Amino acid sequence: MPKVLLIGIVLLLVASCTDQLAYFNYQSTDNGNWGKDQVMEFRFSDLDSTQSYNMYITLRNDEQYPYSNLFLIAEMSSPDGTSHRDTLEFEMADASGNWMGTGYGSVKENKLWYRENIVFPDSGVYTVTVSHAMRKNGSVEGIEQLPGVLDVGLQIEKNQ
């Protein structure tokens, strides 16, 4: 009987964690290299207009990623035609060079804050695009192929 109770509690916890998830999608890069011109596009609709949400950019990287930070350009377009563009910077490794994020082995998954307490008042399709904006120090040109980035995603959770 205690095993059944323990399994029930675990299932309840898992189900309650996913109740907050409103949208989640990943897109893969080209063989672990994120091209400068490879824009990841995420489209979603039918979110509750009375609910506020938190948005995250999710990223899977491996040990081939050569930097301790990451610059991204994210743009969200609403069904009414308005858009909002952000330049974002995230730390990918700590001061000792250890990868941040979760996961065992060589692949780490990072949940990077994008926007909080956002409401989607308009019905229709919203679009979020994400591209990298990495450059070498002193260079104006962006890095053509950013190695070590396996997948880029968008996660939207109901605000509690």
Residues of the chain falling short of pLDDT 50 = 1, 3-16
Per-residue model confidence (pLDDT) at position 8? 45
CA-angle at 26, arms to 48 and 124, nearest 5° = 30
> For position 16, what pLDDT does the model report?
47
CB 133 within 8 A of CB 69: no
pTM greater than 0.75 (yes/no): yes
Instruction: List the structure tokens of 142.
Output: 């962006």
- Each domain of the chain, given as residue ranges in start order, spans 22-158
- CATH 2.40.50, applies to 22-158: no
pLDDT at 14: 45
